[in-house]
Amino acid sequence: MAGRLGTAYSEGRLAKDEYDARLDRALSARTYDDLDQLVTDLPAARPPAVTGATAPTPAARTNGLAIASLACGIAQFAFGPLATIPAIVLGHMARSQIRRTGEQGAGLALAGLILGWAAVILAIVVIVIGLALAAGTSGGGMMH
């Protein structure tokens, strides 16, 4: 009982003189009923304060567009250029959303963008080489 009174005093729910008077009555109490009367009218204890250090923080979500961008970037290897443009568009959209919302997935979006743009650059290089070869063979045939 002295512990409950001490807690109430330390939390500011009892003044010092009230604490002293109740503690004296607790020490001279003869029955449990005498003890119960000492704490039944105490103000309710305040719930413990939640601080940032003790409160669990929710895990940040991974942006869905970032996942889709990476999936499209990888899908290029199976489906060819059909997934290239979605990989690039979704990657840019995901990075914009991630900056705004603080979600996870910036690396996934960047990987999708790199794969998409690499496929575009590779396609341009292949086309340029193909045109150069075609021009070289057709130009060489006319000279003979």
Please state, in angstroms and rounded to a whole number, the distance separating the CA atoms of residues 14 and 47: 17
pLDDT in the model for residue 117: 95
104 bridge partner residues: 62
pLDDT in the model for residue 66: 95
pLDDT in the model for residue 94: 95
Q: Which amino acid is at 29?
A: A
Between CA 4 and CA 15, with CA 10 as vertex, the angle to 5 degrees is 95
pLDDT in the model for residue 19: 79
Q: What is the DSSP string of 71-113?
A: HHHHHHHHHGGGGHHHHHHHHHHHHHHHHHH--B-HHHHHHHH
Are 98 and 119 in contact, with CB atoms under 8 Å apart? no
Are 4 and 39 in contact, with CB atoms under 8 Å apart? yes
Assigned token pair, 6? 């001490």
Closest to 109 in 3D by CA, of 121, 119, 97, 123: 97
Between CA 83 and CA 90, with CA 88 as vertex, the angle to 5 degrees is 90
Q: Whole-model pTM?
A: 0.55
Assigned token pair, 74? 């990888």
pLDDT in the model for residue 53: 59
pLDDT 10s per residue in the chain (144 long)?
Answer: 677 777 777 877 778 888 788 778 888 878 877 777 777 777 666 666 556 556 666 777 999 999 999 999 999 988 888 899 999 999 999 999 999 998 999 999 999 999 999 999 999 999 999 999 999 887 655 555
